[in-house]
Structure 1
Amino acid sequence: MAAVWQQVLAVDARYAAYRTPQLPQFRTQYVRRRSQLLRERAQGGHLAGEARRWYLRLRARLLAQRYGALSEAGSTRSALRASRTTLDRMEDFEEDPRGSRGHRRSLSRSSGPGGLRGGPEERPPGVVPTPLAEASRAMAGDTSLSENYAFAGVFHVFDQHLDSAVRKVQFAHDERHLLACCSLDGTLSVCRLAPGPPAVLRRLRGHGAGVSDFAWSLSNDVLVSASLDGTLRLWDPSDGRCIRRVPDPDGAALLCCAFQPLNNNLTVVGSARHMVRVVNISTGKPARGGTGRLPGRALALCFDSPGRVLWAGDDRGSVSSFLCDPGTGRLTKASRVLVQAGGSITSLSARAWASREAPDPSLLVNACPDRLLLFRYH
């Protein structure tokens, strides 16, 4: 079945130079993922016989419509042969029956320091290395194409959010295998890595626009999500049920959210209208006195571990702090620091004890486009 996925991938390889011409690294990533998926499909017997021929014709037609015809028929056949040669080189590793990592069964060149070395050169019938393939190998650092496209070290790829950006990925508290992610396609996903094969447990649907942020409750029994549709939603991650929908009083897009660490009945949400607001999730109503205003759009929220101080970062490069009453949710403005004029604060993370060299409480700030700062606070 190896020849099946090689032929399919050869069609994509012919058009590789046309994909993201300004960002060539994404072309490599795309072909890697295509190779991984096609291997799995071929091993399962999904691409064979007439189905394979139909898929090849359809794929070639779609690519030609998007990028245009590549060349005349004769040169097209030459390009396909070159692609087949390149792809055959991707198959030049196989399992060693003696239990070692693998051995080279075709080309005998070393893969570099610490790499695998093969024995005498044994080319499969009909495979003739071309200067083009050698040039590609040199551009890749003289490593084999099999290594370049192997997805080495990747445990699993979740690709359920294909059409829109994933804004956040976060593991549940004290969990190694349970995580969630949100996407601008308007949904969230709850995923499991183990036990058993990795899987998407459920998709959380209901928002009318992209989901910009989410947070796990302390006991992991509730997820809160903020959306560009101007609503805050509470979810039960065990069954995907929406527990409550809370619209923003100003009708503004919601860009970030966080649970109050000592009182998970309170959630803080930041909006595109420069507001930070504390919401009681049991009633769906704003907490009395629980509002604050920022210089710009609220992009990031973070509490200290006691839940007494709330930091909020905005798109004008400033970080504002508020004192928060864990019982009532009342906010009192404390201070403001301009971190980077004209930049955006995209992430905040507070730690009470970063390391032995930095024993004081610290706040890590990511300031776009080019700064990562660590503040000490009292």
Structure 2
Amino acid sequence: MAGSVWQQQAFAIDVRMNAHRVAKHANLRTLYIRRRNQLLRENTTNNDALRKQYVKIRSHLLTQRYNVSLDAMSIHSKSRSVASVASTPDLNLSATNIWNEQVLSENEVVPTSRAEASRAIVGDTSIAENYAFAGVHHIFDQHTDAVSMIKFAHNDRARLCAVSHDHSMSVCNVASSPPSVEFVFQGHTAPVTGCDWSASNDLIATCSLDASVRLWSVVDRVCLRVVHELCGHPVYSCLFHPVNNNLLLTGSSFGLVAVVNVSTGIYVKGSNCKVGGAVLCMAGDASGRLFWAGTDKGMIISILCDDLGRLSKGKRLILSQNSPITCLSWRSWISREARDPTLLVNIAANAVCILKVLDKDGTVQLKRKFNINHKSGKYLVRSTFCPIMSFREGACVVTGSEDSCVYFLDIQSKEQRNAVNKLQGHACPVLGVSFNYDESLLATSDHQGLLILWSREKH
């Protein structure tokens, strides 16, 4: 409990000062506060003296930086009183009226139902206005075959990883002028099907139909390790453990989910979990204790993971018999109206689905379904949540499709037409989609190997 109180004390200081940060860029203020909350939760210390010293120094530095006294910013109204940051574990409305917030059991900060405070932080723009991506920022064509997956590095607006069926993986710098390909990794002997960045962005894991997983050093630009699938089957998906990056989960065509020790390249004993059907995609929650695997049989299976990386099967859901699940993404909450943990799912039955996570065993329930052009299991069409948790009305996801278009879907819209934007620039099925962390750029890739960067339209 003491650790939670300390985190909230430090967080409350930043909330109060938030009006002075990037005054003209509401989205960046939102991003800053979200990132601060995440860092505080991930870097908890048990040293009480160090906690107190940190809060004191943080308060002093922010007061000097913005020339505003924290005491002068206190609120004395009966309904919103913050007498002392150190005396209460509850976060109340900040003195700058940026938002009302409450802390859930998992320490996720969410706005209350007061729409006025929520809209203020995002500049009172609509979903359609905020996601009016229109301009082509750059086009990459370094790959000669389908680019099956793309991923921006964590909290990095510049580096983008792309893996291709031409057996290679590339890293692009989209912040350079003009954007450039930094390097291309060669080593796989068959199409590369998936990739993931480590938490510190120093490693990239790739998996391939050649039945191997490779670990690449981004700094040294070399392959550090090659790990072969236990039974010699093609590997479709790989995912770093979100808490312990020395563990890497892999999913194969044999229906086997397993955990590799990154340091040794050896599979963890007791980590083999047979789910049935080729594991085309995986996703995990922030705790690292719960994962989901999507198969080519139309099933989503929850997988429980202990501290040693040992796996056990949880619950399963069949969305559409024998229709491949091609993408899974997890989000703890997506908007003011949707505060439940959520899975975003692409399924080759012409659908993008929103699933509600019901319990700690990973039980999921279909919440909404949206029609897109995606019928063939040949194309592993993917989607993504927009990275900034919007405080406006509605919530947006972006998905590729087989009709060569990119769709922005308002997943909370009650109207029949859910697409708030459609990008047309590809000439074949769009497979990969990825935002950089501040949503200033969207990357999309297609079946012919083209990769397009889209820039946000200025308002």
Shorter chain as normaliser: what TM range?
A: 0.5 to 0.7
- Structure 1 position 297 matched with structure 2 position 270: no
Question: Matched residues in 1 for 2:216 and 2:241: separation?
Answer: 17
- Structure 1 position 153 matched with structure 2 position 174: no
Written as runs of structure 1 = structure 2, the 5 A alignment for 1:28-177 is: 153-162=135-144, 164-177=145-158
- Structure 1 position 247 matched with structure 2 position 221: no
TM-score norm. by structure 2 comes to 0.48
Give the unaligned 5+ runs of structure 1. Answer: 1-151
Letter in 2 for 1:219: S
Which segments of structure 1 move beyond 6 Å, counting only runs of 4 or more? none
Question: Matched residues in 1 for 2:135 and 2:349: separation?
Answer: 29
Residue 330 (structure 1) shift: 0.5
Residue 264 (structure 1) shift: 0.5
Question: Matched residues in 2 for 1:238 and 1:197: separation?
Answer: 22
Q: Which residue of 305, 326, 329 corresponds with 2:309?
A: 329
Structure 2 partner of 1:340: 320
Residue 179 (structure 1) shift: 0.5
Question: Matched residues in 1 for 2:323 and 2:176: separation?
Answer: 42
- Structure 1 position 366 matched with structure 2 position 346: yes
Letter in 1 for 2:310: R
SS of residue matched to 2:199:
coil
Letter in 2 for 1:357: E
Question: Matched residues in 1 for 2:223 and 2:282: separation?
Answer: 23
Letter in 1 for 2:136: V
Residue 297 (structure 1) shift: 0.4
Residue 196 (structure 1) shift: 2.7
Question: Matched residues in 2 for 1:272 and 1:217: separation?
Answer: 23
The answer to whether the Cα contact below 8 Å between 1:274 and 1:295 also exists between their aligned partners in 2 is yes
Residue 171 (structure 1) shift: 0.3
- Structure 1 position 187 matched with structure 2 position 168: yes
Question: Matched residues in 2 for 1:159 and 1:250: separation?
Answer: 35
Q: Which residue of 331, 337, 344 corresponds with 1:351?
A: 331
Larger Rg: 1
Residue 333 (structure 1) shift: 1.1
Structure 2 partner of 1:271: 252
SS of residue matched to 1:176:
coil
Structure 1 partner of 2:289: 308
Question: Matched residues in 2 for 1:196 and 1:159: separation?
Answer: 17
Letter in 1 for 2:178: P
Residue 257 (structure 1) shift: 0.6
Equivalenced residue count is 225
Question: Matched residues in 1 for 2:176 and 2:234: separation?
Answer: 38
The answer to whether the Cα contact below 8 Å between 1:288 and 1:328 also exists between their aligned partners in 2 is no
Question: Matched residues in 2 for 1:278 and 1:182: separation?
Answer: 21
- The percentage of aligned residue pairs carrying the same residue is 43
Residue 238 (structure 1) shift: 2.4
Q: Deviations over 1:119-147 (max 9, x none)?
A: xxxxxxxxxxxxxxxxxxxxxxxxxxxxx
Letter in 2 for 1:298: V
More helix by share: 1
Question: Matched residues in 2 for 1:290 and 1:205: separation?
Answer: 29
Structure 2 partner of 1:203: 184
Q: Deviations over 1:158-196 (max 9, x none)?
A: 00002x100001100011111110001110000001133
The answer to whether the Cα contact below 8 Å between 1:202 and 1:239 also exists between their aligned partners in 2 is no
TM-score norm. by structure 1 comes to 0.58
Compute the RMSD of aligned alpha carbons: 1.0
Give the unaligned 5+ runs of structure 2. Answer: 1-133, 360-459
Structure 2 partner of 1:285: 266
Structure 1 partner of 2:87: none
Structure 1 partner of 2:198: 217
The answer to whether the Cα contact below 8 Å between 2:254 and 2:276 also exists between their aligned partners in 1 is no
Residue 369 (structure 1) shift: 2.7
Residue 205 (structure 1) shift: 0.8
Structure 1 partner of 2:219: 238
